[in-house]
Structure 1
Amino acid sequence: MPGTTRLLCLAASALLAGLAAPPSPAAAHDLPRTYVVSKAPGVLPEGIAIDHDGTMYVSSDGTGALYRGSVRDPQLRPFPAAGTADRPSSLGVHTDGTGRVYSVGGVELTVHDRHGRLLTTRTAQGGPLGPSHLNDLVITDDAVYVTDWANPVVHRAALRHGVLGPLEPWLDIRSAFPQFPAQYWLLNGIVADRSGTTLLVASNGTEAVWRVDVATRDVAQVDLGGASFGADGMLLRGRTLYAVLNYAAPSGVYVAELDTQLRTGSVIHRITGEPFDLPTTLARYGCRLYVVNSQNDEPPGEPPYTVSAIDDPMCAPPGRTR
């Protein structure tokens, strides 16, 4: 969630009543628990992605920079991503199966190779409320879907043989809740099932996660037992939804088990308090969750800016399977 507009959620609330083998147990035990993204002032980390080889990328809401490191090294370093120097903010960041790095900030979606060479730039057209403020993205076999913090819109760029098409408005999500004010949807995290036929989209403003059928564009709220669930970043693994909450609930990692259609579920784990410092999103590698500490509640925060690694509560103990 962008730090500069986070307080808009207060107005909204008043209107509502890994592909590679994971590290061995011994190796995982020796991995750092805290990763320093940067010690430079004003970085305010926001997004995170971990590639199949353990390479970690973290974006900066405060400066627009990208940082790169490894799950084996507690210190990240600037990632020389060409063409992002003038982007004041970078939010969502993800990698694909070839190691390319996708990131969004402002009105731009950019794609870099692992060396930082700029491969593609796509610019969002805006939405019903004006210019876009792209927030997060998910990559499927045939498209990239991007949420828009400033508009109640999900954008889409077709993906064919590694070539990215134009980034175009694809879904106006207001159809699911037309009486809710357009400016307070505040779309955040977005994830897809393995087939790419179902999306889950988080909305801070509605304090809910919305299920989107890609073929029909039908939208329905995911029923999580009536609990407020205005997630920021999310991660979907099978039927397990990992989400970071930092608004209308204690900040931390929430884990929900969903039904096979991803329509209903219940929260089965809540991890709050230390070591988090206004977490925004998370990534998974092996049996660990990597959680970004944004410090966006008190910008520009206080260096160092960090990522915290915690044990995944959904991992089975040795000798047991889930």
Structure 2
Amino acid sequence: MKKRLMIAVLAAATCTLPVQAEPATANAFPKIVPVLTGSPVEGFTIGRGTTAYSSSIDGSIYKVDLRSGEGAVLVEPEDNFNVETDCYKLGMRVDPRSNYLYAAGCYWGNAWVFDAETGEEVTTIQLSPFGEVINDIAITREAVYFTNFSAPFIYRLPLSRNGQLIEGEGALPIPMVGDDEENTPFTANGIVATPKGDALIIGDSVTAQIYRVDPLTGHSDRVAVEPPLTGFIDGIVMHERTLYILTPANPGDPDDIDRIQVVSLDKALLQGRLVGYITDPDNLDGVASGAILGDSLYVNNAHYTTYPEPDTPYELTKLKLKEVEPLP
């Protein structure tokens, strides 16, 4: 569940396919890219080339070019959307082989598959019962994985070699179980996969812990990070053995700001070092999801503390991966 859903209860990433290379005209790319006005953002991903996608809890998906800033609605919002109670789409990822766009279905317990070019719905997949929040997605060469914020499960949807769905193959629920409770994530949110797809890194939003999870068995081990991570862990992006962990500001703490916690992992993915933060107070407000293009990390701004109105603007922010503020 991303932070907006968590606030409501209390008062909803990266695939292993190669990171896209940014074109040589990178300096021409705008730092701020507007997305759909009036649609509270949650999921974000980058597809083929410079094409990106922003999802909203209202069910819409907005397709935008990161270089030109030009965009259009790919998937329309759901009819009669109620911002107080409804949630239709959270995390997203694109498989560039098939150009399928996968979107997590929030508390409907499902996932959507769309043609990333046309927006045509390919299929929907029921993963868990209604009321359990399907949250985020990672894609490997062999499968798509989904996290569940409401129960310690991941879901594995097998793919063919060219990234196509396999007829007759459904999603397999896999319980995440560690050697003890400390090694089991219960409120899973962001998820990424290693380049070979042999391990998943999953964040637990409530405990601010990350876990190394076996994608076939679900066996999980807590990754020991020093100094410890803090805040509400939302989306996670991975490049080589570095994690970029999106952490929106805590509305109750005026000294807490939106930040990307940068963690360097060891080869076994069981030890991590928090090396610093990427921040931009003027241009970050409720970071929820992100993806890498070239040497930049793009994140969306959910504006969690701003009540969504039809004219509320939402946008993406471009951050430089190298601009990490070291720890004191």
Question: The TM-score by the shorter chain falls in which range?
Answer: 0.7 to 0.9
Q: Does 1:89 align with 2:84?
A: no
Alignment partner of 2:283 out of 275, 278, 302: 275
C-alpha contact (below 8 Å) 1:35/1:306 kept by paired residues: yes
CA distance in 2, matches of 1:176, 1:299: 42
Q: In 2, are the aligned partners of 1:112 and 1:120 still within 8 Å (CA)?
A: yes
Q: How does 1:128-147 map to 2 (within 5 A)?
A: 131-147=131-147
Matched residue, 1:31:
29
SS in 2 for 1:275: coil
Q: Any conservation in 2 of the 1:157–1:167 contact (CA below 8 Å)?
A: yes
Partner in structure 2 of residue 320 of structure 1: none
Q: How is 1:202-217 mapped onto 2 (pairs within 5 angstroms)?
A: 202-217=203-218
Q: 1:214 to 1:88 in 2, by over 3 A?
A: closer
User: When the two structures are superposed, what TM-score results if normalisation uses the length of structure 1?
Assistant: 0.83
Contact 1:3 1:297 in 2 (8 A): no
Distance change in 2, residues 1:241/1:76 (3 Å): same
Q: What SS class does the counterpart of residue 283 from structure 2 fall into?
A: coil
CA contact (8 A) 1:235 1:241 kept: yes
1:111-190 equivalent positions in 2, closer than 5 A: 111-113=113-115, 114-126=117-129, 131-161=131-161, 162-164=164-166, 165-173=169-177, 175=178, 177-178=180-181, 185-190=186-191
Q: 1:185 to 1:133 in 2, by over 3 A?
A: same
**Identity percentage of aligned residues:** 26
- In 2, Cα distance between equivalents of 1:304 and 1:118: 27
Rate the CA distance shift 1:22–1:5 in 2: closer, same or farther, 3 A.
closer
Q: TM-score scaled by structure 2?
A: 0.81
- The equivalent of 1:14 in structure 2 is none
Query: What's the offset of the Cα at 1:298?
Result: 3.3
Q: Counterpart of 2:269 in 1: which secondary structure?
A: coil
Tell me the secondary structure at the aligned position of residue 79 of structure 1: strand
Secondary structure at 1:160 match in 2: coil
Matches within 5 A, 1:210-225: 210-225=211-226
Alpha-carbon offset, residue 89 of structure 1: 2.0
The residue number in structure 1 matching 2:194 is 193
Query: Counterpart in 1 of 2:15?
Result: none
DSSP 3-state at the match of 1:232: coil
Consecutive unaligned residues of structure 1, counting only runs of 5 or more, are 12-17, 316-322
What SS does structure 1 have at the residue aligned with 2:125?
Answer: strand
What's the counterpart of residue 64 of structure 2? 69
Match of 2:313 among 273, 295, 304: 304
In 2, the alpha carbon distance for the partners of 1:10 and 1:133 equals 16
The 8 Å contact of residues 135 and 189 in structure 2, kept in 1 or not, is answered as yes
Change (3 A) 1:75 1:177: farther
Q: How does 1:230-309 map to 2 (within 5 A)?
A: 230-246=232-248, 250-272=257-279, 273-300=281-308, 303-309=312-318
Deviations 1:93-112 (A, max 9, x none): 11012221111113221111
Give the superposition deviation at 1:179: 7.2
SS of the aligned residue for 1:5 comes to helix
Structure 2 alignment gaps of length 5 or more? 12-17, 251-255
* Amino acid paired to 1:167: A
CA distance in 1, matches of 2:312, 2:78: 22
Paired letter, 2:193: A
Task: Determine if contact 1:187/1:201 at 8 Å carries over to the other structure.
Answer: yes
| 8 Å contact from structure 2 (residues 247, 288) kept in 1 | yes
Deviation at 1:297, TM superposition (A): 3.1
Q: Deviations over 1:129-158 (max 9, x none)?
A: x73211101111221110112222212222
Question: For the structure 1 residues 4 and 171, does the alpha-carbon distance in structure 2 shift closer, same or farther, using more than 3 Å as the test?
Answer: same
Offset of residue 21 of structure 1: 3.4
Q: Paired residues, what number?
A: 297
Distance 1:293 1:90, change over 3 A: same
Residues 153 and 215 of structure 1, relative CA distance in 2, 3 Å threshold:
closer
Pair 1:153–1:71, CA change in 2 (3 A): same
